[in-house]
């Protein structure tokens, strides 16, 4: 696929280990063995672009594993498309497990992730989750390979509050991602000595941002935190761009979940947007990189511990540096970057080195001293 090699190089700092090599081969594994892995991604629906990026990264890793003679097995991906329907995820997850897939990559939204956890627990399967999420979760059946708030929201607001002030307006899709990220943001803004000027939600896929724009126009916040997902986010950002062009009201928009795969759809509406995440580079960005690293890490660990090894044994096995996973919380150790869209691409503004995961924000910095001050943009 065009640009895939460049994307892998650009994300090596956040998701390293992109080369081949399975490490020590487990005894008793047939060279002809094929191991099924599931892909549970909505290839249609309001967030299909995000799913496509995850799928691209996962399938690229499958190709690399299957082309590498150091691996004593081949991966056999089996796919199901829930089409963005939340009630389709659990039965399709069960169907993948019945087809022999003990490990499944997928579930873009937190809603869908939570839908499948009871099925995973009942059937003893594992979900490798490649998307940013709201934190405050550590399931025994989920490996969280993308960022939680300690690696997206906290660094983003720590960068933004001294520059834009703490008078924020919060938007989000009307489900757990939007609710929880905005809850933490509200606490941090209040800790910094300010208040939230407004908070408004849209159902997933709803593109009517008129009420939000009216409130933003009236309150004139120092920044907007956009936790909308998919088509809702695109409509909102287009409306914010019109507000800037037609009325001269240029309000910075922040995001914890917007990545490179969405920039072609957004076009000029994305200009100036400031985002946080574990990596920014070419191509489909951190979603593709996380999915690629997840599948590669899983394959390397299975090559060492054995394909039937329980998750604890897999996480204890080496994977050549593809993905460092905390065995206590099942979260990845990741860096945190803040970047701004300039000329259709992200330019990194600040980078924090990789730190151990903190899904419950037990070690977050204090925001009590955050105040507007003169800092470099």
Q: Which carries the bigger pLDDT value, residue 32 or residue 258?
A: 258
State whether 15 and 71 are in the same domain.
yes
- The fraction of the chain above a pLDDT of 70, given in percent, is 88
Better-scored residue on pLDDT, 6 or 244: 244
Residue 366 domain-assigned (yes or no) = no
Considering the domain architecture, whether residues 57 and 166 belong to the same structural domain is answered as no
Residue 57 lies in a domain: yes
- Give the tokens for residue 73: 């097995």
Strand residues in the chain grouped as ranges (E): 33-40, 73-80, 103-106, 126-129, 142-144, 168-173, 196-202, 223-227, 253-255, 274-277, 334-342, 345-355
Q: How far apart are the first and last CA of the chain?
A: 36
Q: How many CA atoms lie within 13 A of 342 on its CB side?
A: 7
What is the pLDDT confidence band of residue 24, given thresholds at 50, 70 and 90? very low
Q: Mean pLDDT throughout 174-194?
A: 95
Burial state string for 191-230 with b = 16 or more CB within 10 A and e = fewer than 16: bbebebbbbbbbebeebebeebbebbeeeebbbbbbbbbb
Query: Both 168 and 294 in a single domain?
Result: no
Are residues 268 and 326 located together in one domain of the fold? no
Number of domains within the chain: 2
> Is the residue at 275 inside a domain?
yes
- Could you read off the pLDDT of 4-16 as tens digits, one per residue? 333 334 444 566 5
Co-location of 198 and 347 in the same domain: yes
* Co-location of 177 and 307 in the same domain: no
pTM, 2 dp = 0.90
- 374 falls within a domain: no
143 vs 127: CA distance, rounded Å: 6
- Whether residue 228 is found in the same domain as residue 202: yes
The burial class, CB within 10 Å (0-12 / 13-18 / 19+), for 309 is middle
**Do 68 and 112 fall into the same domain?**
yes
Q: What is the CATH number of the domain that holds 86?
A: 3.40.50.2300
Q: Is residue 344 part of a domain?
A: yes
Residues 139 and 191 in one domain: no
44: in domain: yes
Query: Count of CB atoms within 10 A of residue 26's CB?
Result: 18
Closest CA to 307 of 100, 29, 76: 29
Which residue's entry shows tokens 């604890």? Answer: 312
> Strands (DSSP E) along 280-344, which ranges?
334-342
Is residue 130 in a domain? yes
Laid out side by side, the sheet with 223-227 consists of 196-202, 168-173, 223-227, 253-255, 274-277, 334-342, 345-355
> Which domain range does residue 322 map to?
4-147+282-334
Do 123 and 157 reside in the same domain of the chain? no
Q: Are residues 70 and 163 in the same domain?
A: no
- Give 63-112 pLDDT, tens digit per residue: 999 999 999 999 999 999 999 999 999 999 999 999 999 999 999 999 99
In a domain, 369, yes or no: no
């Amino acid at each position: 696929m065009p640009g895939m090699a460049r994307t892998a190089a650009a994300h090596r700092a956040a998701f390293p280990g992109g080369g081949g090599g399975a490490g020590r081969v487990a005894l008793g594994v047939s060279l002809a063995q094929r191991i099924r892995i599931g892909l549970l991604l909505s290839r249609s629906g309001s967030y299909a672009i995000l799913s496509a990026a995850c799928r691209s990264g996962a399938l690229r890793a499958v190709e690399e594993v299957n082309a590498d003679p150091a691996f004593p097995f081949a991966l056999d991906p089996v796919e199901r498309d829930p089409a963005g329907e939340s009630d389709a995820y659990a039965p399709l997850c069960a169907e993948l497990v019945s087809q022999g897939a003990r490990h499944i990559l997928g579930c873009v939204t937190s809603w869908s992730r939570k839908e499948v956890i009871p099925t995973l627990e009942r059937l003893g399967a594992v979900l490798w989750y490649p998307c940013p999420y709201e934190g405050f979760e550590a399931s025994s059946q989920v490996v969280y390979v993308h960022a939680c708030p300690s690696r997206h929201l906290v660094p983003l607001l720590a960068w933004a509050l001294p520059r834009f002030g703490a008078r924020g307006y919060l938007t989000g899709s009307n489900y757990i991602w939007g609710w929880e990220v905005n809850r933490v943001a509200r606490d941090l803004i209040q800790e910094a000595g300010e208040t939230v000027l407004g908070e408004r939600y849209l159902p997933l896929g709803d593109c009517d941002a008129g009420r939000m724009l009216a409130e933003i126009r009236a309150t004139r916040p120092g920044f907007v935190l956009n936790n909308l997902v998919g088509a809702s986010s695109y409509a909102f950002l287009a409306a914010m761009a019109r507000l800037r062009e037609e009325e001269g009201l240029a309000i910075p928009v922040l995001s914890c979940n917007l990545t490179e795969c969405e920039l072609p759809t957004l076009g000029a509406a994305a200009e100036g947007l400031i985002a946080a995440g574990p990596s920014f580079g070419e191509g489909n960005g951190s979603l593709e990189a996380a999915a690629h690293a997840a599948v590669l890490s899983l394959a390397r660990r299975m090559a060492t511990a054995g394909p039937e090894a329980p998750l604890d044994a897999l996480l204890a096995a080496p994977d050549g540096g593809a993905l460092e996973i905390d065995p206590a919380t099942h979260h990845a150790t990741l860096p945190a970057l803040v970047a701004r869209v300039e000329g259709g691409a992200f330019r990194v503004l600040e980078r924090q080195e990789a730190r151990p995961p903190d899904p419950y924000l037990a070690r977050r910095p204090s925001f009590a001293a955050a105040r507007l001050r003169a800092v470099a943009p």
